Amino acid sequence: MSIRYLMTLLLILAMGVEEGVEARSTLTARFSEEGIAGPEVGHQVLLYLHFFPGDGEAIVDARVRLDVDDSELRGCRSTLGKVQQKGAELEVSYRQKPLAHESVDTLYIELVPGKNRAAIRGTAEIFSSLDGGRESAHSAAMGLAIRPPLELE
């Protein structure tokens, strides 16, 4: 058997082998502004959750955890899902209408930054229909600076 024949055979075999490639759901999360005035100034901040469902998947839930310590999280509503607040954690359910296509959900968060805060940091994670919504499919971090209010003369 010649080397040329052997190389050709290996190339044909390599081309015929298919590896399963799976696209999993991903997410990006960002606040509408880089920062807000504070401390102790109430705001409605917008958090954009941008979803990219994987092949054959739909986003069924999202969870947002905010490091608010001495700040006050007063409430939240979603444009696409139903929000349940548990302390500094926001659980968003899309189970009534799972998100099977690229989507952006806007969370309207009522927030009062505490005295000793320079930033509000958090993480968002999504859960997909692929595993029944039990395992996190992807997570993303976000941050919001707290800046002193402008002094007026």
Q: Which amino acid is at 88?
A: A
pLDDT digits (tens, 9 = 90+) for 90-105: 999 999 999 999 999 9
**Predicted confidence (pLDDT) at residue 140 exceeds the cutoff of 90:** yes
Higher pLDDT residue, 130 or 8?
130
Copy the structure tokens of residue 137.
């499919």
Contact 120, 147 (CB under 8 A): no
The reported pTM is: 0.82
- Bond before 98 cis per omega within 30 degrees: no
pLDDT above 90: percentage of residues in the chain: 66
pLDDT digits (tens, 9 = 90+) for 19-52: 554 568 999 999 999 999 988 889 999 999 999 9
Q: Check the CA dihedral 33-72-95-28 and report its sign.
A: positive
Q: Which amino acid is at 65?
A: R
Q: Which amino acid is at 97?
A: K
